[in-house]
Amino acid sequence: MPKNFLARIWQNMRDIPRWFRPGLGIKRWFTLVMIGITLLGLGLAVILIDVYRTDSTNPIFLTILTYASLRFIPRVLRAILFGGLGIGLAAYGIFQLNRSLLQPFIRPGSDVFDQIKDYRRRERGPRIVTIGGGHGLATLLRGLKAHTHNITAVVTVADDGGSSGRLRESHGILPPGDIRNCLAALSNDEALLTQLFQYRFNGSPDLDGHSFGNLFITALVDITGSFEEAVAESGRVLSVNGRVLPSTLRNVKLVASMELPHSINEVRVEGESKIPTMAGKVRRVWLEPDDASAFPPVIKAILNADMIVVGPGSLYTSILPNLLVHDLLAAMQISRAVKIYVCNIATQSGETDSFTCYDHVRALENHVGEDLFDIIVCNDNYENNISPAQWVRADEKTLSDSRTYCADLVDDGHAWRHDSLKLAQVVMDIYYERTGPLVENRY
């Protein structure tokens, strides 16, 4: 028998104890299978005993039975030998069968056990609600999905520009753009399907600027008759672990009161896409109608959450449109979850020019009230190659706030953005520091 074959069998046998570690959901089913095999063995034993009693005078049968049952070995040793061999063969066969069944779903070059362990760890991860929109929220989700499957992303529906705005105007649906970005970020299939979902047409007058994902969601709205059902079906197509929900199902419009450079009075600006283009200072934003109710599953997710993360994202056009939904904000205020605000790394032209971390927090609290957040996460790495005036710095007022948590969050390839892995790790570290020992170590 080839040595490599024996070595492979030995390695597989050595791996068997790993499958019985807590949290994998294996032991209960293995025990059930062993009970079934034992009952089958007892049935066979009853038949053999009956044959032995009725045909005990046949010398050939007695010889075969004597050697097959190892009667020349003491009974206790026989029980141990047969029992151990039976358990070993059953375990080896079951695990090899599972390996064969799971082979189409396992990433090449990875270990089946490690993937199951990782899946179970994320399945038991904390319940996290993220609130925001745009690329900032997608960046956070891309990192968090490595830690937990229990993610609910709450996305603004105030977008009225680009492809989303055109579909909103022509088809009367909620804007799908930010929802599409979040679905793609949470997808387990980061290859061709996700690239297709994010693909943006160009050149054709009718399709120019539209993304395939936006058109796909729009088509599903027509088929299912429901925007929320269309989003859910899109999540299934992209193999998303988690949920992406609109903050409200009302067709809301974001309105701002702005102070413009050459105007004495504040100017009313309507539309999320127009606010950053006005080159003025935002004084206040609100939704019209201002009585829009939150999507009920969003309220339920917030009340059941272990942690709520707001941001990163455009302060006035991505984050506040969610928090201005009154019952969503009320649910946040009474939720017992750890509430974290992630401040942007760089300022945004037309919205937060020259803002510090403190300015971001004050703008939020002026709209939604003070002490909403337990932790304020700020970047403290200002060494990348962007203009010094663009950094959102943790100033003295920010550092004097006991809620402030500073860390290096910069994406080295895009200095004005968060690194998804760094940000997710910081958020999870904060959560585990606040809630006790690392749950991840239970494996």
| pLDDT bracket for residue 341 (50, 70, 90) | very high
DSSP string for 136-150: HHHHHHHHHTTT-S-
Distance CA 158, CA 273 (A): 9
Q: Is the pLDDT of residue 79 over 90?
A: no
Q: Note whether 331 and 247 are within 8 A (CB).
A: no
DSSP string for 151-196: EEEEE-----SHHHHHHHHHH-----HHHHHHHHHHBS-TTHHHHH
Q: Is the pLDDT of residue 11 over 70?
A: no
Residue 244: CA atoms inside 13 Å, Cβ hemisphere, count?
Answer: 36
pLDDT of residue 165: 79
pLDDT of residue 439: 46
Considering the chain, what is the average pLDDT of its residues? Answer: 84
| pLDDT bracket for residue 172 (50, 70, 90) | confident
Q: Is the pLDDT of residue 23 over 70?
A: no
| pLDDT bracket for residue 442 (50, 70, 90) | very low
Most confident residue range from 99-113, 189-203, 298-312: 298-312
pLDDT of residue 428: 96
Q: Is the pLDDT of residue 15 over 50?
A: yes
**Cis previous bond, 289, omega within 30:** yes
pLDDT of residue 12: 58
| pLDDT bracket for residue 401 (50, 70, 90) | very high
Structural domains in the chain?
A: 3-113 (no CATH), 124-156+247-442 (3.40.50.10680)
Q: Note whether 301 and 154 are within 8 A (CB).
A: yes
- Is the pTM higher than 0.85? The answer reads no
pLDDT of residue 426: 97
Pull the structure tokens for residue 37.
Answer: 């095999």
Distance CA 398, CA 425 (A): 22
Most confident residue range from 5-14, 113-122, 271-280, 324-333: 324-333
Pull the structure tokens for residue 130.
Answer: 């993220």
**Cis previous bond, 175, omega within 30:** no
Residues pairing with 411 in the sheet? 414
Percent of the chain with pLDDT over 70: 82
Phi and psi dihedrals of 417, rounded to 5? -115, 160
Cα end-to-end span (Å), the chain = 37
Other beta carbons within 10 angstroms of residue 25's beta carbon come to 11
Provide mean pLDDT across the span 339-353.
93
Q: Is the pLDDT of residue 381 over 60?
A: yes
DSSP string for 279-317: -SEEEEEEEESTTPPBPHHHHHHHHH-SEEEE-SS-III
Residues pairing with 377 in the sheet? 342, 405
Provide mean pLDDT across the span 423-438.
88
| pLDDT bracket for residue 31 (50, 70, 90) | confident
Distance CA 384, CA 367 (A): 32
pLDDT of residue 99: 67
pLDDT of residue 440: 46
